[in-house]
Amino acid sequence: MLRFFSRRLAGAIVILLVISAVTFFLFYAVPRDPAMLACGKNCTPDALEVIRKNMGIDKPIPVQYWEFMSGIVTGRDFAQGACPAPCFGYSFANSDPVWDTILDRFPTTVSLSIGGAVVFLFIGLGAGMIAAWKRGTLADKVFSTASLVLSSMQIYFVGPLVMALFVFNLGLLDQPKYVPLSEDPAAWFMGLLIPWLVIQIIFTANYTRLARSSMIEQLAEDHVRTARAKGMSGKFVFFRYAWRGSLIPIVTIFGVDLGSLLGGAMITEWTFSLPGLGKLAVESVQKTDLPMVMGVMLFSATFIVLFNVLVDAAYAFIDPRVRLA
Amino acid sequence: MTSPSQAAIAGSETPDPDGVGLTTEPVGQEGSSDQQVGRSPGQLMWIRFKRDRAGVISAFVVIAMFAVAALAPVISSLYGKDPWTRYGQLREGLLNDNGYPIKANGGIDSEHWFGLEPGLGRDVFMQLVYGMRTSLSLAVVIAILSVLLAIVIGVAGGYLGGKTDYFLGRLTDLMMSFPSQLFFVAFVPVIGALAVDPQDEMPTWLRASVLIFVMWLLGWMTLARLLRGQVLTLREREFVEAAKVAGTPPWRIVRKELLPNVVTPILVQSTYMLPNFVTAVAGLSFLGVGMPASTPDWGRMFATGAEVYQSDITYMIFPGVAMVIFIVAFNLLGDSVRDAFDPKSGR
Amino acid sequence: MRTARVSVVGLAASALILTGCSSGGGGGDEGVSKDDAAKQQVKYEFGDEQASTGPAEEVKGAKKGGVLTVYQRDSFAHLDPAQMYVSDEGSMSTLIHRRLTTYKRDNSGKYTVVGDLAKDSGQSSNGDRTWKYELKDGVKWEDGSPITSKDIRHTFERQFAPFVSEGPVFIQQWLAGKSGTGYRKMLPDGPYKGKHLPDKVLETPNDKTIVFHFKSPQPDLPYALGMAGYAAVQEKGDTKEKYDKKPVASGPYKVASFKSGKSMKLVRNDNWDPKTDAVRHAYPDSHDIQFGVSYEASTKRLSSDSAENKTAVSYSNQVDASSMQEVRSNPDVKKRSLAGYQPYVGKISFNMDRLKDKKVREAIAYALPAKSLMQAFGGSGGGELGGSYLSPTVAGHTGADPYGKAKKPLGDVKKAKKILKESGKSGMKLTFAFQNSPEWQEFSIAAKDNLSKAGFDVQLKDIVSDTYYDQIGKTKNKYDMYHSSWGADWPSASTVIPPTLDGRQVQDGASNYSHYNNPQMNKEMDRISKITDADAAAKEWGKLADSILKEDLPDIPLMYYKQIQLHGSKVGGVVLNDVISGIDPTQLYVKK
């Protein structure tokens, strides 16, 4: 177990290093000088020098990369103030600390992802299991067809449609917005309801199809058949044996989905203008805000890598046959 | 096909970050009972496919959409409009003072079947037809390149094994860990800026190449991983061993013994990949890093639609519904193809 | 010395433009008429001590209390006054920062420059070379300590420090008697290393008095001191770079929290005494500002007027082009809208270093479709077709239209083609640079269409909005044409023509984007600048503008911008303030 984790984590760190290097060096290839832009109209060579220094871009690029990466571990000192570890520097665009900004935006993305995930897991798995249970009946067909059509929808299409209907025509809901859960739970819930429902439409379908097929497969497995043959009730077998076995592929997909959602659901956040990581990423890219892009890129990648490891670990708990090696 | 048909698709597809993914169910091994006398596996597949009504219908829909995209100029000349002319601005009585169509339902009439684009007043039907042409061509090119690279990397890893396999496996892992959408959004502008003189417009073909390039870079991993697994098991099979013993050169083994056996997963996977690329390209246009504004584009119609939906929801319906139909049809087709190749897969 | 005034104006106006303020807007069906435009042609006077004495005139029906929700598209990049340059920051800054002077708008809409922290708008002597200001009694910082002349001295001295890079430089230049960035040599480190400006430049004889000594006459100092960039900074609380996130307030509100890109909360500053302030009110208990709300989103929220949006407003967000339809056709929304002209004229500037042949410029001028531009900005609500350099809000506007931009709003492609052929340049490559925003994207498509038909090989070059004006402001830029807009700070053509068309002002970052330099016209500008009779001068400016347009065609004007802003049904005191080019935040109140 320990060996498994240490090996996977070492691999994850290598991956993150490569991603950071690629991002850093590619962005420096852009022929735009962030110091020049920050310097404004009444710029002098002296002022430019000060700004370059403040931004930490007065040194050769590999040195800058080294300073940036070591800053994540040890922290750095900037003119804007000390930057404790993990230090991703200060934004070029508005001199905010990158790490604080990410932490500030992250709750929005977490609320969006977790809330959406809860909705799509419940509906998706529920519908999938009913379809498998009632295989071949009308309910099965309805669920399967619906999941097929819904999975073909796009957030940038459904989002505006749902808004037009519920917000502007019927006036049932308010425009989506993010209110911290700690501030006002009711407003938090109402503000994110539409995004959750829209994200859900797109994801649920995958889980319905997946749950249905893996459930059907499990029901055909030997140990399940044996259990049945021994005279256990259908329901008992369904929930005790088949259900457990069908979790493996679902956990895989769910881990990957959640990891990438937590890294920023760009299109969803953009569609509903929710101030999460995804929106931050798009904005920072538009402004060539390198520290911010780096920060978000590494943060997102960390989640993807981390959840991949977790998924593998989860196998072992669900299915004792799987050994971690 | 020269060798026993065999198909074992395992593992699952990774959905793209914003959730529109697809899933292939694990598929069992094909038994020998299908081997009837006098029919090749290809013929069998064709017969089975023809029996699947949903599959045939969706095949027609898919073909029709590709035909529409391919024949866009012909449709344009028959219809008598093009996607560039600003009809609403040039002719009186089509757009009101605020730039919205005067007629109800987005200005639909016998002249403009799908109505007019608010603001510029271009023909929506033509925008859609040419937009599909742009998006589908991009997606097809990306899919072909991705499949080719996946075959090279997957087969090389699986067949050569050892250090090569380890190295290619880590490379695949690495590429899979990239936040792909973020990567696209960040690097399409960067790579574009590198290649063009800052005072010139980025030519459409170059923008298209950049899009293709970045999506290709992160588009091949799933299939490659799958093929590697396939080849790994095939390598141990008797017919491959036999070929090796007989002194067949490796290239010939790959070409004559291995590749024909992985045609099924390649075909099935690419029918799932293609719609994924279409929606991913559209997503980039929606976020503002797609094709330049003067090129009709499916994805940008959604960006425009998202701006005007409060006053003109009709505008968004056409590209939206067209995309849903396209993807439903493609997914159904994918399922049917898989079933036809492998009738015992659990459905 | 008119050029001084001109530069102040140029500064403020370009600041406004930098925010990309000029996108979209529009009124009801009738919109704003030319009469309204003429009404906006007002004069600004210098107020005396009486006019500068608080408290400010009550807003009718206003009540204290409540929380105001404010939607803003852009986060405030700076809270340090010395770095403030753009108009939306300027709007907010009136709530937290006080300056020596400020602009007062009375309930009838008349504007006066009055003393803010100072007792009056200033006492000049020595031919406007010496200006004396005396601070009011009872003006305090948010920590309760009094605002003294030392703080004011510090405010100006820190403007010389290298980290101050964004704000206005006019007073620094006047104090140093140098143009460009030469002023920085006078106090290279600001006041932070113990050095100060000598008394013969900036004098503080006692705790209440500040005296400016300039090398040449500066009659426009009261205007300049009213800019957000010259608001007071506390010496004790100055944290240099960090001040930009956490300033010490002197106005009716102070910063309770500021999360860049996300939100800002302003709460009442108990140490602000309304009796010392002739301009500001502080009716709401707090302003809750949300950033990152696009024009589109704020329009949708405010027009829905749902529960929480009833008490919402935006200082500077306008109705976006796509929502004009909804705003202008829905009577419930329309009655909560404010429409007006913006001071800007939208024009396409020709890079005279590259397009030397007037025939080519003429061909472009004829070909461009002005209507497409108007349509892109939301139709007649967002702009008005126009063919001359002076907007209808500026005295001297003649309504001339030599290139038929209003008469043939779709552009005259045939004529353009003919003229281009005559010049022998058919098929020439033409690079059109534009801001990467939906409106300009839309116009660029229409423009390319027309220009290609006229025989140009058009290269569209989109530039990221943030850096657009920096890029086209480089005199060595490699674009043939680009859009620019210019607005008068107060409605005199002297604040329009010289800054944009005086050839002696061509330099990096200057607003003469076409690099037009005609010595004869420069001379004419100097002549008109000396005319003291405002009406006569206005007429001359109008004539000069038209003759430059007709004879030399350095830019082709296409549109006069208009705007519309929305507010929730429970927000009162909503008035447009011409000085900040948007809703005046200090007059707002929450209806019970």
Strands C312-313 and C67-71 come out as parallel
Cα–Cα dist B60/B63, whole Å: 5
> What tens digit of pLDDT does each residue of B214-243 get?
899 988 998 998 899 888 888 888 888 888
Residue B258: inside a domain? yes
Chain C hits for A167, CB-CB cut-off 8 Å, are 300, 304
Q: Which residue has the higher pLDDT, C219 or A119?
A: A119
CA dihedral B160, B163, B168, B172 (to 10 degrees): 130
Q: Which residue has the higher pLDDT, A213 or C115?
A: C115
Question: Which chains does chain C touch, 3 or more C-beta pairs < 8 A?
Answer: A, B
Determine contact: B96 vs chain C, CB below 8 A.
yes
Nearest-Cα distance to chain C for B194, in Å, is 15
Give the mean model confidence (pLDDT) for residues C337-360: 91
Q: What is the CA radius of gyration of chain C?
A: 24
Is B346 within 8 Å of A263 when comparing Cβ atoms? no
Report the residue from C162, C184, C509 with minimal CB separation from A41.
C509
Q: To the nearest whole number, what is the mean pLDDT of chain B?
A: 81
Cα–Cα dist C107/C101, whole Å: 19
Residue C256: inside a domain? no
The total of structural domains in chain C comes to: 2
> What tens digit of pLDDT does each residue of C93-144 get?
999 999 999 989 887 778 888 999 999 999 999 888 999 999 999 999 999 9
C246 backbone dihedrals φ, ψ, rounded to 5°: -140, 75
Cα–Cα dist C473/B239, whole Å: 72
Give the mean model confidence (pLDDT) for residues B129-150: 94
Token pair belonging to A128: 């999938």
Report the residue from A42, A171, A280 with minimal CB separation from C165.
A42
The total of structural domains in chain B comes to: 1
Lowest-confidence pick of B31-35, C52-56, C278-282, C546-550? B31-35
Answer positive or negative: Cα dihedral of B45, B46, B48, B54: positive
Confidence label for C446 from pLDDT (cuts 50, 70 and 90): very high
Residue C6: inside a domain? no
Top residue of C262, C291, C303, C469 to mutate, by most chain A CBs within 10 Å, is C262
Is C260 within 8 Å of A32 when comparing Cβ atoms? no
Chain A hits for B183, CB-CB cut-off 8 Å, are 297
The structural domains of chain A, with segments of one domain joined by +, span 2-83, 99-318
pLDDT score at C106: 83
Give the mean model confidence (pLDDT) for residues C74-86: 86
Q: Which of A83-87, A152-156, B318-322, C486-490 has the highest mean pLDDT?
A: B318-322
Determine contact: B305 vs chain A, CB below 8 A.
yes
Give the mean model confidence (pLDDT) for residues A106-131: 89
Is A105 within 8 Å of C262 when comparing Cβ atoms? yes
Give the mean model confidence (pLDDT) for residues A174-196: 88
Question: Exposure string (b/e) for A20-51, b if CB count within 10 Å is 16 or more?
Answer: beebbeebeebeeebbebbbbbbbbeebbebb
Chain C hits for A275, CB-CB cut-off 8 Å, are 261-262, 292
pLDDT score at B14: 38
Determine contact: B10 vs chain A, CB below 8 A.
no
Among chain C residues, the shortest Cα distance to A40 is held by: C166
> What tens digit of pLDDT does each residue of C457-473 get?
999 988 877 678 877 88
% of chain C residues with pLDDT over 70: 91
Among chain A residues, the shortest Cα distance to B174 is held by: A15
CATH number at residue C157: 3.40.190.10
Nearest-Cα distance to chain A for B173, in Å, is 8
Confidence label for C489 from pLDDT (cuts 50, 70 and 90): low
Is A286 within 8 Å of C509 when comparing Cβ atoms? no
Determine contact: A129 vs chain C, CB below 8 A.
no
Confidence label for A40 from pLDDT (cuts 50, 70 and 90): low
Indicate the SS3 state at residue B143. helix
Is C460 within 8 Å of B292 when comparing Cβ atoms? yes
Q: To the nearest whole number, what is the mean pLDDT of chain C?
A: 85
Top residue of A156, A202, A214 to mutate, by most chain B CBs within 10 Å, is A156
Chain C hits for A42, CB-CB cut-off 8 Å, are 165, 167, 169, 181
Chain length of chain B? 347
Give the mean model confidence (pLDDT) for residues A319-324: 58
Is A104 within 8 Å of C262 when comparing Cβ atoms? yes
Could you tell me if A143 and A222 are in contact, meaning their C-beta atoms sit under 8 angstroms apart? no
DSSP A240: I
Is A264 within 8 Å of B179 when comparing Cβ atoms? yes
pLDDT score at C90: 86
> What tens digit of pLDDT does each residue of A81-104 get?
778 878 888 888 777 788 988 998
Q: Is the pLDDT of residue B132 over 50?
A: yes
Q: Is the pLDDT of residue C317 over 60?
A: yes
Question: Which chains does chain B touch, 3 or more C-beta pairs < 8 A?
Answer: A, C
> What tens digit of pLDDT does each residue of B257-313 get?
888 888 888 888 888 889 889 998 999 888 888 888 888 999 999 988 988 888 888
Q: Is the pLDDT of residue C257 over 60?
A: yes
Determine contact: B310 vs chain A, CB below 8 A.
yes
Cα–Cα dist B172/B177, whole Å: 9
Contacts of C42 by beta carbon, 8 Å cutoff, 6+ apart? C109, C110, C111, C490, C491, C578
Lowest-confidence pick of A71-85, B275-289, C371-385, C557-571? A71-85
Confidence label for C19 from pLDDT (cuts 50, 70 and 90): very low
Nearest-Cα distance to chain A for C242, in Å, is 6
Residue B222: inside a domain? yes
Nearest-Cα distance to chain C for B313, in Å, is 12
Q: In terms of residue numbers, what domain contains B152?
A: 132-327
pLDDT score at C12: 35
Strands C383-385 and C429-435 come out as unpaired
Fold of A99-318: MetI-like fold (1.10.3720)
- E strand intervals along B225-292: none
Strands C45-46 and C111-115 come out as parallel
Determine contact: A27 vs chain B, CB below 8 A.
yes
Interface of C with A (CB under 8 A): 75, 77, 85, 162-163, 165-167, 169, 181, 184, 188, 241-242, 244-245, 259-262, 292-294, 297, 300-301, 304, 306-308, 464, 466-467, 470, 473, 509
Q: Is the pLDDT of residue C351 over 80?
A: yes
Confidence label for C328 from pLDDT (cuts 50, 70 and 90): confident
Cα–Cα dist C196/C157, whole Å: 7
> What tens digit of pLDDT does each residue of C44-56 get?
678 888 889 989 9
Q: Which residue has the higher pLDDT, B32 or C378?
A: C378
pLDDT score at A125: 86
pLDDT score at C335: 92
Top residue of A150, A266, A288, A294 to mutate, by most chain B CBs within 10 Å, is A266
pLDDT score at B297: 92
Q: Which residue has the higher pLDDT, A236 or A134?
A: A134
> What tens digit of pLDDT does each residue of B158-174 get?
888 889 998 998 888 88
pTM of the model: 0.80
> What tens digit of pLDDT does each residue of C422-432 get?
999 999 999 99
Q: Is the pLDDT of residue C345 over 70?
A: yes
Report the residue from B18, B170, B186 with minimal CB separation from A267.
B18
CA geometry: angle at C53 spanning C47 and C57, to 5°?
95
Determine contact: A290 vs chain B, CB below 8 A.
no
pLDDT score at A211: 84
> What tens digit of pLDDT does each residue of B173-188 get?
888 877 788 888 888 8
Omega of the bond prior to A86 within 30 degrees of 0, cis? yes
Q: In terms of residue numbers, what domain contains C441?
A: 346-563
Chain B hits for A256, CB-CB cut-off 8 Å, are 14-15
Chain A hits for B16, CB-CB cut-off 8 Å, are 260
Give C20's Cβ-side CA count (13 Å radius).
22
Cα–Cα dist C210/C135, whole Å: 8
Residue B77: inside a domain? no
A 160-219 residues with CB < 8 A to B: 160-161, 163-164, 168, 199, 202-203, 206, 209-210, 213-214, 216-217
pLDDT score at A319: 65
Q: Is the pLDDT of residue B154 over 50?
A: yes
Is B100 within 8 Å of C369 when comparing Cβ atoms? no
Give C519's Cβ-side CA count (13 Å radius).
0
Determine contact: B263 vs chain A, CB below 8 A.
no
Cα–Cα dist A310/A259, whole Å: 10
The stretches of C330-435 forming alpha helices (DSSP H) are 331-334, 358-367, 370-376, 413-423
Contacts of B210 by beta carbon, 8 Å cutoff, 6+ apart? B188, B191, B192, B195
Q: Which residue has the higher pLDDT, C19 or B78?
A: B78
Q: Which residue has the higher pLDDT, C570 or A153?
A: C570
CATH number at residue B188: 1.10.3720.10
Chain A hits for C245, CB-CB cut-off 8 Å, are 95-96
Q: Which residue has the higher pLDDT, A308 or C225?
A: C225
Top residue of C23, C435, C445 to mutate, by most chain B CBs within 10 Å, is C445
A 112-171 residues with CB < 8 A to B: 148-149, 151-157, 159-161, 163-164, 168
Confidence label for A323 from pLDDT (cuts 50, 70 and 90): low
> What tens digit of pLDDT does each residue of B51-104 get?
888 889 999 999 999 999 999 999 999 998 899 888 888 888 888 888 888 887
Report the residue from C188, C301, C466 with minimal CB separation from A287.
C466
pLDDT score at A42: 59
Determine contact: A180 vs chain C, CB below 8 A.
no
Adjacent-strand bridge partners of C102: C114
Chain length of chain C? 592
Top residue of B9, B16, B23, B315 to mutate, by most chain A CBs within 10 Å, is B23
pLDDT score at C149: 95
Closest CA to B265 of B171, B210, B204, B345: B345
CATH number at residue C537: 3.10.105.10
At A266, the amino acid letter reads: M
Domain-ending residue, one of C244, C272, C296: C244
